Amino acid sequence: MQDLAAFRHALHRAPEISGEEAATAAAVVAFTAATAPDRVLTGLGGHGVALVYEGAAPGPAVMLRAELDALPILDAAEVDWRSQVAGKGHLCGHDGHMAILCGVAQGLGARRPARGRVVLLFQPAEEDGSGAAAVLADPRFAGIAPDWAFSLHNLPGVALGAAVLCDGAANCASVGMKIALSGRTSHAAEPDLAISPARAIADLVPGLQALRQGEALAPGFRLVTLTHLRMGEPVFGITPGAGEVYATLRTLQDSDMAALKTEAVALAERLAARDGLGLEISWHDDFAASVNAPDAAAHLRAALLAEGITLVPARPMKASEDFGRFGAVAPCAMVWIGAGADHPPLHAPDYDFPDALIGPGLRVFQRLLADLLG
């Protein structure tokens, strides 16, 4: 545990954001080299790493996933291992998740599974929703495609070491919508000569928010969050001729997202046409919904209970998680492990992964592998 905690601290000091995780990936490969994986895939879907451990007899392939990337947020935690990279920090706990998977690798290095195959995937670019799709699109992934896939994530606000495991829907789908409006500037004294985005933006704000539907996280739930607005330049002498609106669209089910996107686009097109504005719409940070398959969730629940982990009442998370796309190739399940009722929240500048969770996370994954592969 001390070695794994020390490795986490080293990762925490040197965070790399989505798409830039080359050194982090290299550190994982170096730390696990002594476990002698049967195969090591690097550069998977970007900077992803897959460590493959073959069992003695034929059997199913089980994939466990952790994340490589950090966040573009200042790390203000008062710990000795605080980030040494300005404006970047492991403020979601991916350093801890990697340490847990490295502990699994150490166990597999000492004793291979009785049958089947274990794939330890260190996924790139989880935070922007691009990593899972890139891994799946990598031609080499087909050679290690799993029959089962599991993941865990820490969760502040829940008692330390307790578990939240959903049946079915676990995390919302979400996508970032960028609406760029273009017109024509003029002198501020002659706004009638401009084609300004001001009125369109003023109407987009309530219009997009009105697309919200439902309060409970149930089928049909929709949420639109305005995240950024910009119009013209920060001066007083110019009537603006361009503007941007950023919004995050969120639904519980993938099937509801298409309709929400269609309505949001139609609103933007109508307002731009009304005011004679050019319009460009682009999509970013695209996350599929995460859904726990019944059989996979049952295996994970059995492992949690066998290790004495307390299960607390579960409900889907509004936040998105780039694990759901693996459900297209295998039954998946993801569990949230409590980081403490009063622990700083995820993505907060004073957040730090609790080292006390490395042991429970490791034990649950080892139990899961023993149950499925012997």
Q: Are 184 and 220 a contacting pair, CB within 8 Å?
A: no
Structure tokens at 6: 């020390």
| 22, 89: one domain | yes
DSSP 83-129: --STT-B--SSHHHHHHHHHHHHHHHHHS--SEEEEEEEEES-TTTT
The helix/strand/coil state of 153 is: strand
Q: What is the mean pLDDT of residues 20-42?
A: 98
Q: Is the pLDDT of residue 176 over 90?
A: yes
| 273, 349: one domain | no
Domain end call among 286, 320, 344: 286
Task: Please identify which residue in the block is written with the tokens 């799709």.
Answer: 133
Give the span between the Cα atoms of 284 and 153, in whole angstroms: 23
Buried b (16+ CB within 10 A) or exposed e, 261-281: bebbeebbeebbeebebebee
Q: Are 357 and 160 a contacting pair, CB within 8 Å?
A: yes
The larger pLDDT score, comparing residue 216 to residue 310, is at 310
Domain end call among 234, 265, 286: 286
Compute the half-sphere exposure of residue 337: CA atoms within 13 Å on the CB side of its CA.
Answer: 31
Q: Is the pLDDT of residue 182 over 90?
A: yes
pLDDT of the residue at 236:
97
Distances (CA, A) of 298 to 66, 78, 169, 182, 327: 20, 39, 14, 52, 15
| 200, 213: one domain | yes
| 191, 316: one domain | no
Q: Are 237 and 272 a contacting pair, CB within 8 Å?
A: no
| 115, 153: one domain | yes
| 147, 73: one domain | yes
Instruction: Determine the distance from the C-alpha atom of residue 14 to the mean position of all C-alpha atoms in its chain, rounded to a whole number.
Output: 19
Strand partners for 213: 222
| 69, 201: one domain | no
Q: Kindly tell me the burial class for residue 159, based on how many C-beta atoms sit within 10 Å of its own C-beta (0-12, 13-18, 19 or more).
A: middle
Q: What is the mean pLDDT of residues 264-271?
A: 98
Q: What is the mean pLDDT of the chain?
A: 97
Structure tokens at 16: 């790399």
Domain end call among 268, 286, 304: 286
Specify whether the backbone of 167 is left (phi greater than 0), alpha (psi in -120 to 50) or beta: beta
| 54, 190: one domain | no
Q: Are strands 278-287 and 242-251 parallel, antiparallel or unpaired?
A: unpaired
Q: Which of 121, 187, 183 is nearest to 152 (CA)?
A: 121
Q: What is the mean pLDDT of residues 313-341?
A: 96
**What is the CATH classification number for the domain harbouring 256?**
3.30.70.360
pLDDT of the residue at 145:
96
Residue 37: pLDDT band with limits 50, 70, 90: very high
| 253, 319: one domain | no
Q: Is the pLDDT of residue 368 over 90?
A: yes
- What is the dihedral sign for C-alpha 267, 270, 276, 281? positive
pLDDT of the residue at 192:
96
Q: Are 101 and 122 a contacting pair, CB within 8 Å?
A: yes
| 271, 244: one domain | yes
pLDDT of the residue at 216:
87
Encode pLDDT of 110-155 as tens digits: 999 999 999 999 999 999 999 999 999 999 999 999 999 999 999 9
pLDDT of the residue at 242:
98
**What is the CATH classification number for the domain harbouring 25?**
3.40.630.10
| 102, 192: one domain | no
Percent of the chain with pLDDT over 90: 99
Q: Are 368 and 107 a contacting pair, CB within 8 Å?
A: no
| 179, 302: one domain | no
Report how many domains make up the chain: 2
DSSP 20-82: --HHHHHHHHHHHGGG--SEEEEEETTTEEEEEEE-SEEEEEEEEEEE--BBSS-----STT-
Domain interval for residue 184: 173-286
Q: What is the mean pLDDT of residues 247-268?
A: 97
Contacts of 270 (CB under 8 A, 6+ apart): none
Q: What is the mean pLDDT of residues 29-35?
A: 98
pLDDT of the residue at 215:
85
